[in-house]
Amino acid sequence: MISQGSSSARLRMWELMTVMSQSGRRGALIVVEPDAAQLPRSGKTAQNLARRLTQLQAEADLLHIKVFAVTSIEAAATALAAFADAA
């Protein structure tokens, strides 16, 4: 499930990059990550999630896309508002 989510995020990131290049605007990607209480007890799942998020953020940095990893709708709204205010 983690690999499927990171593949989807990469696709969205490339779509966003296309829109950014055509419009001249900046962009951000909001990804949902489970909070620690939702993860299985094995540390491997948490490590894989953290590794994939770090990889996604590194790829996004190269494309000048900001990545916000959030655990709730409220956090997504806050991140989006902060990104919009930074313009």
DSSP 63: T
- Whole-angstrom Cα distance, residue 78 to residue 82? 6
Tell me whether residue 3 is in a domain: no
pLDDT tens digit sequence for 20-43: 999 999 999 999 887 767 666 667
* Sign of CA pseudo-dihedral 55, 53, 62, 31: positive
Tell me whether residue 21 is in a domain: yes
pTM (2 decimals)? Answer: 0.79
Where in the sequence is the domain holding 48, given as residue range(s)? 13-86
C-beta of residue 67 within 8 angstroms of C-beta of residue 28 = yes
Confidence of residue 50 (pLDDT cuts 50, 70, 90): confident
Q: How many domains does the chain have?
A: 1
